[in-house]
């Protein structure tokens, strides 16, 4: 059965109603194919499951794909529709939570059996295509048992359920050849300190992660584990507030060798940072793994998960990614159509929008790097450290007394050189909009 019969494979500038204007997979940018720079992934949950329900109303989109929702026939139909969707868009990866793939049963043994069945089917569909799993995860936030978190729960029984879900999700991720495994700590946080032992909860989260690493490595998982930072929503305080916080946590508990960051654009802005900031902090700590490629709304204080269209942002994000030497993970569209955009055609337009926004961002970021003035400016900006005293400071050979003597001989330093921010912004605008 063909689910999206209104389009065949979406190509580059074909002149058809569904076409890419900028994403040209084989085009070489800075020595590498665009498709290699941009390992796009489909998020199973938004694209194949979510019908647009919000706090005030039910879904508007039909994601039944011709089957009864909540059945294994529906689970299979989603696989079929998902593979057709990815193949038509030339998307090579997908990401999933356990419960995106199958309806959860009352008995975890039955849920696990369903997961075995559907992952067999996905494996079968993968044969003969170049589609792979980018990352898997366990949904440890939706079911009421996780109201107080999974790793951070006050219930030892619930903690064991979380462990069982992680074990199974890891099995499936490895079976599907996943590059990564994500921990998003949606409910790992607290509402009030009056009922919370923060140290106890953080130790338990770390304990669960250690068990996941041990098990994953035992079954042959070679990829990275990821923490996906988010400051709030659903919890008031989430422990993985931002990249810097999550990296500190990983180091404190000895998890930094096995984990990297999965940076989501919308979570960055919720934390009061730019997307680029979170990418840079991850990169300079050697922990940039994967990206959830979406966009928030600066006027709204919650996670809107919009498809990225802001090319200024995608340019600066791709600048960070290029500078970091690329991603070992991918660019997962953890994004959803707006509720009134409810048709199957809208699903295609959303992905075309997002893929083109990142493709154009890549082209413009490469242009900024190749043009060279921004990088040169940064090098020059720190050139005072090329002198004798500067080199001593950088080499760790200076003492406080020596620097004090140096300063006292000088009496008063000149002002640092200008930051020239407007000049740099003008260069970026020229790359974006110049001739």
Task: Please list the active-site residues.
Answer: 97, 100
Does residue number 182 form part of the binding site for ligand XLS (CB under 6 A)?
yes
Partner from ligand XLS, Ca ion, none contacting 308, C-beta within 5 to 8 A by type: none
Strand partners, 43: 95
Does residue number 264 form part of the binding site for ligand XLS (CB under 6 A)?
yes
Count of residues that interact with ligand XLS, criterion CB under 6 A: 11
Q: Which is nearer to ligand XLS, 204 or 290 (CB)?
A: 290
Q: Shortest approach of ligand XLS to residue 44 CB, angstroms?
A: 10
CB 94: neighbour CB atoms within 10 A?
A: 30
Does residue number 334 form part of the binding site for Ca ion (CB under 5 A)?
yes
Does residue number 292 form part of the binding site for ligand XLS (CB under 6 A)?
yes
Measured distance CA(319)–CA(3) in Å, rounded: 37
CB 238 within 8 A of CB 267: no
Measured distance CA(362)–CA(38) in Å, rounded: 8
Name which of residues 324 to 343 contact ligand XLS (CB under 6 A): 334
Taking CB under 5 A as the criterion, the residue among 303, 306, 313, 320 binding Ca ion is 303
Q: Shortest approach of ligand XLS to residue 204 CB, angstroms?
A: 19
Does residue number 137 form part of the binding site for ligand XLS (CB under 6 A)?
yes
Does residue number 240 form part of the binding site for Ca ion (CB under 5 A)?
no
Q: Show Cβ contacts of residue 227 under 8 Å, excluding neighbours closer than 6 positions.
A: 182, 183, 184, 185, 240, 246, 249, 250, 259, 261, 262
Measured distance CA(375)–CA(381) in Å, rounded: 10
Q: Which is nearer to Ca ion, 305 or 356 (CB)?
A: 305
Q: Which is nearer to ligand XLS, 128 or 144 (CB)?
A: 144
Q: Shortest approach of ligand XLS to residue 386 CB, angstroms?
A: 43
Q: Which is nearer to ligand XLS, 241 or 319 (CB)?
A: 241
Does residue number 184 form part of the binding site for ligand XLS (CB under 6 A)?
yes
Q: Shortest approach of ligand XLS to residue 97 CB, angstroms?
A: 6
Q: Which residue is associated with the tokens 């694209």?
A: 47
Does residue number 264 form part of the binding site for Ca ion (CB under 5 A)?
yes
Does residue number 100 form part of the binding site for ligand XLS (CB under 6 A)?
no
Measured distance CA(44)–CA(25) in Å, rounded: 22
Name which of residues 305 to 324 contact Ca ion (CB under 5 A): 305
CB 21 within 8 A of CB 28: no
- Is the link from the previous residue into 123 a cis peptide, with omega within 30 of 0? no
Q: Shortest approach of ligand XLS to residue 350 CB, angstroms?
A: 16
Partner from ligand XLS, Ca ion, none contacting 258, C-beta within 5 to 8 A by type: none
Does residue number 224 form part of the binding site for ligand XLS (CB under 6 A)?
no
Measured distance CA(162)–CA(207) in Å, rounded: 12
Burial of 275 (0-12, 13-18, 19+ CB in 10 A): buried
Measured distance CA(111)–CA(56) in Å, rounded: 30
Strand partners, 94: 42, 133
Does residue number 98 form part of the binding site for ligand XLS (CB under 6 A)?
no
Q: Show Cβ contacts of residue 100 under 8 Å, excluding neighbours closer than 6 positions.
A: 44, 45, 48, 49, 139
Burial of 278 (0-12, 13-18, 19+ CB in 10 A): buried
Taking CB under 6 A as the criterion, the residue among 303, 306, 313, 356 binding ligand XLS is 303
Does residue number 228 form part of the binding site for ligand XLS (CB under 6 A)?
yes
The footprint of ligand XLS (CB under 6 A) covers: 97, 137, 182, 184, 186, 228, 230, 264, 292, 303, 334
The footprint of Ca ion (CB under 5 A) covers: 264, 266, 292, 303, 305, 334
């Amino acid at each position: 059965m063909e689910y999206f019969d209104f389009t065949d494979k979406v190509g580059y500038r074909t002149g058809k109603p569904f076409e890419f204007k900028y994403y040209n997979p084989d085009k070489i940018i800075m020595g590498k194919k665009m498709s290699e720079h941009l390992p796009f992934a489909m998020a199973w949950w938004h694209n194949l499951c979510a019908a647009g329900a919000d706090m005030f109303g039910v879904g508007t989109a039909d994601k039944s794909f011709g089957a009864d929702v909540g059945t294994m026939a529906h689970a299979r139909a989603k696989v079929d529709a998902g593979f057709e969707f990815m193949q038509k868009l030339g998307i090579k990866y997908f990401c999933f939570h356990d419960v995106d793939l199958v309806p959860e049963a009352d008995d975890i043994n039955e849920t696990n059996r369903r997961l075995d069945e559907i992952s067999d089917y996905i494996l079968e569909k993968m044969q003969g295509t170049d589609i792979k799993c980018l990352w898997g995860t366990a949904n440890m936030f939706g079911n009421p048992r996780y109201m107080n978190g999974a790793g951070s729960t006050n219930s030892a029984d619930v903690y064991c359920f979380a462990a069982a879900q992680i074990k199974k999700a890891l099995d499936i991720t490895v079976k599907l050849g996943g590059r990564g495994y994500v921990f998003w700590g949606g409910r790992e946080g607290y509402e009030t300190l009056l009922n919370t032992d923060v140290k106890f909860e953080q130790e338990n989260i770390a304990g669960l992660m250690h068990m996941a690493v041990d098990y994953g490595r035992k079954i042959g998982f070679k990829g990275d584990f990821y923490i996906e930072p988010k400051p709030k929503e659903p919890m008031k305080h989430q422990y993985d507030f931002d990249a810097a916080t999550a990296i500190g946590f990983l180091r404190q508990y000895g998890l930094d060798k096995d984990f990297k960051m999965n940076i989501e654009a919308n979570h960055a802005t919720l934390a009061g940072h730019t997307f680029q900031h979170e990418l840079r902090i991850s990169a300079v700590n050697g922990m940039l793994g994967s990206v959830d490629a979406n966009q928030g709304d600066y006027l709204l204080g919650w996670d809107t998960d919009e498809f990225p269209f802001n090319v200024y942002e995608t340019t600066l994000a791709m600048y960070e990614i290029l500078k970091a030497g690329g991603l070992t993970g991918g660019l997962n569209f953890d994004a959803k159509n707006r509720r009134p955009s409810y048709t199957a055609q809208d699903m295609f337009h959303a992905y075309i929008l997002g893929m083109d926004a990142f493709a154009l961002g890549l082209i413009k970021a490469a242009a900024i790097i190749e043009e060279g003035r921004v990088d040169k400016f940064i090098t020059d900006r720190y050139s005072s450290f090329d002198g004798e005293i500067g080199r001593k400071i950088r080499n760790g050979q200076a003492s406080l007394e020596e620097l004090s003597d140096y300063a006292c001989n000088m009496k008063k330093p000149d002002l640092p050189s200008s930051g020239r921010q407007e000049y740099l912004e003008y260069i970026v605008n020229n790359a974006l909009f110049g001739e």
